[in-house]
Amino acid sequence: MVAASSERIGFIGLGFMGHGMAKNIVEKGYPLTFLGRKNRKSAEDMLARGAREAATSREVAEQSTIVFLCVTDSREVEAIVRGPDGLKDGLKPGSLVVDCSTSDPVSTMALAADLATIGVEMVDAPLSRTPKEAWEGMLDTMVGASDKTFARLKPVLETWAGRVVHIGGTGDGHRMKLLNNFISLGYAAIYAEALALAQKVGISPTRFDSVIRGGRMDCGFYQTFMRWTLEGDREAHKFSMANGLKDLTYLESMADAAGIANPLGNAAKNAFAGVVAMGGGKEHIPMLATHIGKLNGVDLSPETGGTERPKA
């Protein structure tokens, strides 16, 4: 399908999520320029699909009317926008920068003010779901933008998102994303601790799952989380512990700025902080259960996690 639009798309961040997003933008007929990367697999795939590669963020900006960012954190976004040969050096008035990362709303608002001085609007459109849905074009996104800009951007968002929610103005997308991740990462911390306690008192993960799955406490996140402990599936939820800690740290900052106590958010943050401090930052979220198990003297590794512990 050829896009009936004059928009030219730039894309920076062909990682787990970004590769699928960029692939869908091209497949739906939009011309796309992406920033080259050391990991050549996704870059070569995009070139084969007809995308163009750029050497600098500035070059991406010069070739684009809308630039999507899908990177690790606010520091990286700031460097891409403001750094040497950055987006700000090549953007034209009327262009959009769309940050799909999970970023600090304070940083987002500062960048929005900075880009406004050159006639460029900052939009936040963070993501929910997994790389599988990114590849299928079925991600969720929560968008912070003016009504006019949202209307302009929505057809492009719909190339890679099955659910597009206009949550409010600039910054509101990132605020909502932190709340969303507070819930999901809080679930992860609860699931991990519950599994450790269950194993300690003689209830295996398999028996635990037989009660939760299909009941009122079941959900999509629970199902992907449990695939590591029950099946040893490392690809079930490709989101790192380090990113989880980063997101909960941003949540803490947002709560501090709002003047609200955030004890549950801090408890979840500390669960991830402990794993990262022990060198587990690159492991995926479902592996939290294995680490919490170790801290409590029980084995929740997939090889043994489904077995019964003899009752005393």
The per-residue pLDDT for range 141-184, each reduced to its tens digit, is 999 999 999 999 999 999 999 999 999 999 999 999 999 999 99
pLDDT bucket at 121, cuts 50 / 70 / 90: very high
| Position 110 in a domain | yes
| Position 135 in a domain | yes
For the chain, what is the radius of gyration of the CA atoms? 21
| Position 306 in a domain | no
For residues 197 and 203, give the distance between their C-alpha atoms in angstroms, rounded to a whole number.
8
Q: Identify the pLDDT of residue 39.
A: 82
Task: Give pTM, 2 decimals.
Answer: 0.89
Q: Are residues 19 and 166 in the same domain?
A: yes
Of the residues 152, 170, 188, which one is the last residue of a structural domain? 170
With vertex at residue 183, the alpha carbon angle to CA 181 and CA 188, rounded to the nearest 5 degrees, is 90
Residues designated catalytic: 177
Q: Where are the alpha helices (DSSP H) in the chain?
A: 18-27, 40-48, 57-62, 74-82, 87-90, 105-116, 131-136, 147-157, 172-200, 205-212, 220-231, 241-258, 263-277, 288-295
Answer whether 164's CB lies under 8 Å from 151's CB.
no
Question: What percentage of the chain has pLDDT greater than the value 90?
Answer: 90
Torsion of CA 269, 270, 272, 274, to 10 degrees: 160
| Position 202 in a domain | yes
Convert the pLDDT of each residue in 210-261 to its tens digit: 999 999 999 999 999 999 999 999 988 889 999 999 999 999 999 999 999 9
Q: Are residues 193 and 255 in the same domain?
A: yes
Q: Are residues 71 and 163 in the same domain?
A: yes
| Position 307 in a domain | no
Q: Are residues 79 and 143 in the same domain?
A: yes
Tokens matching residue 300: 């929740």
CATH code of residue 108: 3.40.50.720
CATH code of residue 251: 1.10.1040.10
Q: Identify the pLDDT of residue 5.
A: 72
Torsion of CA 98, 99, 100, 103, to 10 degrees: -160
Residue 22 pLDDT exceeds 80: yes
| Position 219 in a domain | yes
Q: Identify the pLDDT of residue 140.
A: 97
For residues 57 and 84, give the distance between their C-alpha atoms in angstroms, rounded to a whole number.
9
Q: Are residues 135 and 283 in the same domain?
A: no
Q: Give me the domain span that covers residue 47.
A: 9-170
Total domains present in the chain: 2
Q: Are residues 273 and 151 in the same domain?
A: no
